Structure 1
């Protein structure tokens, strides 16, 4: 008889499972070692999956705004929906009703309000159409009033003005006024631009056009981005607005700036930008003690040439909306007299 051969060993189910797990582990280790070797040879840096990236890596601070553009991240109340922006409706006055524009809508004064030569004064307001109409239309100031609501973010207004150019907007207003007043030669003589809150996104685009406004009103509306590594505005930022403020301080086109103390996170508030503009001029505002009966609580002011600044203590949405109530007084006490004097 030949030698007795060993019988093959039969593994138990548990041993079979353990063997499979060991093989899987060895295969995983081999894959990892190969990947590490490849990474070292290329000098690549491991990148965590997007779902596991640290929070700070997914957040980007606002970009610097040397041109004076407003940060796209600003979101503001919609005056059509926000209860604190619901002003009493006192009608349309002598205007009758809105007329449509390709971009926005317009109120044209009645026949005879526009001189026979067809030259008229115009107010274009961005953001808060209905509150502005309710505040200004009943006053029958003889102005052509155009109002534009394009969204609730400054980027909405910037995008709209890039799509529908400033010159095209003025041309469309001339055509509507010419038809409404039966004056084919109708043409805007003076134009005042006002914005509230996010509406300054449109203003930033308008200031790059050849024709600048004859007066600019920013109602709690001028924001700014911080430069990288800074948490304050630095020289070189808000350039067009600094230039406007300098010109206004010398008696140039009127600039009227208001602010509240509503705080912002990650970008400069309207209070910060107002202080910044004055510092660039080497000027400072005068402090004011609010009157007990003053609902807006004026706390500081500056008048120099055609530059006006008014700062208010409010820090709520209601205070933000209430800035729209300042526009009638700004028009009657500052802008319209300046237009009349310049004509």
Structure 2
């Protein structure tokens, strides 16, 4: 229910993709050869759009909402053809709008809030997942327990995220993770998975204190290469939802300088 800043340089949602909806600049945002940059977000696409347009001015955004739990997102991308069809459909839509017959995805990013990580996990395991340059997880990575009493994670479930974090830490990609302090019943919290991934990087989050967007209070952070972790207090539903508000700064501080997307305009 945050205020709507409008659409910036973007047109309204289009149902051109094979799944979900997309927005792209009214004009521009494409190189002379037809290259464009694409961010695909899973779960909460309209709330995310309000933050995205505050900073983005050229990146094409696809938003996909499939349900409450991560299972719906995982099932939708169980076949690698689903993701390939999605990319192909976006390229066709951009080609039609811009007149660039050979429009193609230049830089590719995946973003997820809450249950949306289920789609990302599937995609990163597929050959097309190697094309992903940027990964944004907004209070969005859970895992089951191999031993709930010992709180031992089922590491196999998050292996693609660990591998991507290592790439990002080495400067080969970009990854942003945020977590709340919510402790869910029967499975690992986003705080636990984030801490586990940082340990795989042989790192340790440091304490931090800062008032952030939508009332979020920063309590810890970790940065290495292109990997960035932000941990927040808050253990209620509004605290979880507030993580969507981080997208504007992620776009402004990290994605725009990294991708140098051609600017769009009205």
Do they superpose with TM above 0.5?
yes
Determine the C-alpha separation between the residues in 2 that align with 1:123 and 1:143.
7
Cα deviation for residue 294 of structure 1 reads 8.0
Contact (CA 8 Å) 2:8, 2:54: kept in 1 or not? yes
User: Structure 1 residues 230 and 107, CA, compared in 2 at 3 Å: closer, same or farther?
Assistant: same
Partner of 2:185: 265
RMSD: 2.0
For structure 2, the residue ranges without an aligned partner over 5 or more in a row are: 262-266
Aligned ranges 1:80-229 → 2 under 5 Å? 86-100=1-15, 101-162=17-78, 165-212=82-129, 213-228=132-147
Q: Does 1:250 align with 2:170?
A: yes
Number of residue equivalences? 256
Choose 127-136 or 230-239, whichever is displaced more: 230-239
Determine the C-alpha separation between the residues in 2 that align with 1:196 and 1:234.
20
Q: Does 1:326 align with 2:246?
A: yes
Determine the C-alpha separation between the residues in 1 that align with 2:56 and 2:191.
32
Q: TM-score, normalised by structure 2?
A: 0.90
SS in 2 for 1:195: strand
User: Structure 1 residues 292 and 158, CA, compared in 2 at 3 Å: closer, same or farther?
Assistant: closer
**Greater strand share, 1 or 2?**
2
Cα deviation for residue 185 of structure 1 reads 1.0
User: Structure 1 residues 226 and 215, CA, compared in 2 at 3 Å: closer, same or farther?
Assistant: same
Determine the C-alpha separation between the residues in 2 that align with 1:197 and 1:106.
20
Cα deviation for residue 272 of structure 1 reads 0.4
Determine the C-alpha separation between the residues in 2 that align with 1:293 and 1:178.
36
What do residues 284-329 of structure 1 show as CA deviations (whole Å, max 9, x unaligned)? 0010134499821000000101110000001111010000000111
For structure 1, the residue ranges without an aligned partner over 5 or more in a row are: 1-85
Q: TM-score, normalised by structure 1?
A: 0.71
SS in 2 for 1:95: coil
User: Structure 1 residues 159 and 136, CA, compared in 2 at 3 Å: closer, same or farther?
Assistant: same
Choose 241-250 or 323-332, whichever is displaced more: 241-250
Q: Taking CA–CA contacts closer than 8 Å with sequence separation of 6 or more, which of the two structures ends up with the larger relative contact order?
A: 2
User: Structure 1 residues 128 and 293, CA, compared in 2 at 3 Å: closer, same or farther?
Assistant: closer
Determine the C-alpha separation between the residues in 2 that align with 1:293 and 1:340.
25
Contact (CA 8 Å) 2:70, 2:115: kept in 1 or not? yes
User: Structure 1 residues 290 and 113, CA, compared in 2 at 3 Å: closer, same or farther?
Assistant: closer
